Amino acid sequence: MIRFHLKCAEDHSFESWFQSGAAFAALQAAGHVICPECGSSRVEKALMTPALRPGSRAEAAPARPDLRDPATAREATLAELKRQIEANSEYVGMNFAAEARRIHSGDAPERSIYGETRLDDARKLIEEGVPVAPLPFLPARKAH
């Protein structure tokens, strides 16, 4: 079924349903499409916009959010924590375990660092008494 917006020769507008576009053309040619207001059989299709239904994704998310903005208070807190760590600490990359050991032993100047290491190396640091903690985010240089 298809709905057409129609207009008669007297400029009256109305809508009607048809089985198909071909069915409308056949009924129009036979004079069976009639204006309900004036009875004229001189009826043409009027300009119309298609009636589109929004998909399920459009209904779930009508506007596309800016993914750089925190969506919740927890995300905002984590974003602030990340900003503070990155502003007040030195990123040492994959050298984190070695540099943490050097700082702990006094072979390197004491300072706040962050970086990356394998899980087994992090466990060894804890066993050695080196104060370390996992971060709840990826360092900026690793976030893609």
pLDDT exceeds cutoff 70 at 143:
no
Domains in the chain: how many in total? 2
State the pLDDT confidence band at 138, using cuts at 50, 70 and 90.
confident
Cβ burial 49-83 (10 Å sphere, 16+ → b, else e): eeeeeeeeeeeeeeeeeeeeeeeeeeeeeeeeebe
Question: Is there a single domain that holds both residue 78 and residue 117?
Answer: yes
pLDDT exceeds cutoff 70 at 83:
yes
Q: 79 near 105, Cβ under 8 Å?
A: no
Do the domain assignments include residue 39? yes
Residue 138 has, within 13 A of its CA and on its CB side, a CA count of 5
Q: 6 near 13, Cβ under 8 Å?
A: yes
How confident is the prediction for the chain on average, in pLDDT? 86
Residue 61: per-residue pLDDT:
53
Question: Is there a single domain that holds both residue 77 and residue 122?
Answer: yes
Do the domain assignments include residue 15? yes
Structural domain of residue 90, as residue ranges? Answer: 73-127
Question: Is there a single domain that holds both residue 77 and residue 41?
Answer: no
Residue 95: per-residue pLDDT:
94
Residue 144: per-residue pLDDT:
44
pLDDT tens digits, one per residue of 8-51: 999 998 889 999 989 999 999 999 999 888 889 999 998 777 66
pLDDT exceeds cutoff 60 at 59:
no
Whole-prediction pTM: 0.50
Do the domain assignments include residue 138? no
